Amino acid sequence: MLDLDCLLNVAKDAAKLAGDHLNENKQKNLKVLLNEGRDIKLQIDRDVEELIKSEIGSQSDFPILGEESGQSDKIRDYYWVVDPLDGTSNYFRNIPICCVAIALMNKLTPVLGVVNDFNNDHLYFAHQGMEAYRNDDLINVSKIDTKIDGTLLTGIPAKTSYTDEEFRSMIVEFQQWKKIRMIGSAAMASAYVASGKAERYQENGIFLWDIAAGAALVNAAGGSVIISDIQSDFRVDARFSNSCIKE
């Protein structure tokens, strides 16, 4: 049996360590490694991922899948998923919507998740045997049950081109909702669904490390999670909701 409380503490400690480092280096002269098309990579992404991997690796033998470094070992049933800085572009431009996201997965099932919203000193966390929390406060999904009263959080994946049909499908979906928000961080979007600030997060072609931790939060907060169509590069289709709004 897994000691989920112990593993959750490992993830929380690593997320806090990473968040402290990111806070300390905000608005400093950040080294840009890649700035092409719709993607940006910073040296601090890599530095923070190494901090997280070192902290987790010292206390757990599970493989680690990181955004920056890939797989530390062959992925088995249980594995860590790490996004050292979800919302890199926001962080770079000093838009305070970004976070550290760490999850433990069993295949495609989220076992536990931690999201450190370090800009606001909010630590979101949960595992399969508990409810979801933000710091010391319980969080729950909303009870809104119609799209016309609800908020949809989504994004446009960072790929080079999009078809007209893709955008037409988005517009049809958008017209059904009261409000649409694109905030630049899938992990924060998921945390907002878990805490009742929005009713659904959905995005196709998003990377697993962007949504794994948030999936655990939404599950524990009473919502529903669908992760499907995993690709060889770990892109997935994600759909998280409060469970009240139907198609």
- What was the pLDDT predicted at 75? 84
Across the range 28-41, mean pLDDT stands at 85
Do residues 117 and 213 make contact, with C-beta atoms less than 8 angstroms apart?
A: no
Neighbours of 205 (CB within 10 A): 17
Across the range 153-162, mean pLDDT stands at 75
pLDDT value at 6 more than 70: yes
Question: N- to C-terminal Cα distance for the chain?
Answer: 37
d(CA 198, CA 181) in angstroms, rounded, equals: 9
pLDDT value at 73 more than 80: no
- What was the pLDDT predicted at 39? 80
- Type and span of the H or E element at 157: none
Across the range 136-150, mean pLDDT stands at 97
Q: Superfamily assignment of 4-139 in CATH?
A: Fructose-1,6-Bisphosphatase, subunit A, domain 1 (3.30.540.10)
- What was the pLDDT predicted at 169? 82
Task: Look up tokens 């098309």; give the residue.
Answer: 37
Across the range 14-35, mean pLDDT stands at 93
What pTM was computed for the model? Answer: 0.94
Domain residue limits, the chain: 4-139, 147-241
Query: Which CATH number is 147-241 given?
Result: 3.40.190.80
Query: What stretches of the chain show up as alpha helix (H) in DSSP?
Result: 4-24, 43-57, 88-92, 164-174, 186-194, 208-220
- What was the pLDDT predicted at 28? 84
How does the average pLDDT of the chain come out, rounded?
Answer: 93
pLDDT value at 56 more than 70: yes
Structure tokens that stand for 36 in this block: 């092409």
d(CA 169, CA 155) in angstroms, rounded, equals: 13
- What was the pLDDT predicted at 70? 85
Q: Place 154 in a pLDDT band, splitting at 50, 70 and 90.
A: very high
Across the range 147-171, mean pLDDT stands at 83
pLDDT tens digits along 97-131 = 999 999 999 999 999 999 999 999 999 999 999 99
Structure tokens that stand for 51 in this block: 């901090």
- What was the pLDDT predicted at 159? 60
Q: Place 246 in a pLDDT band, splitting at 50, 70 and 90.
A: confident
d(CA 74, CA 77) in angstroms, rounded, equals: 10
Q: Which residues contact 135 (CB under 8 A, 6 or more apart)?
A: 121, 122, 123
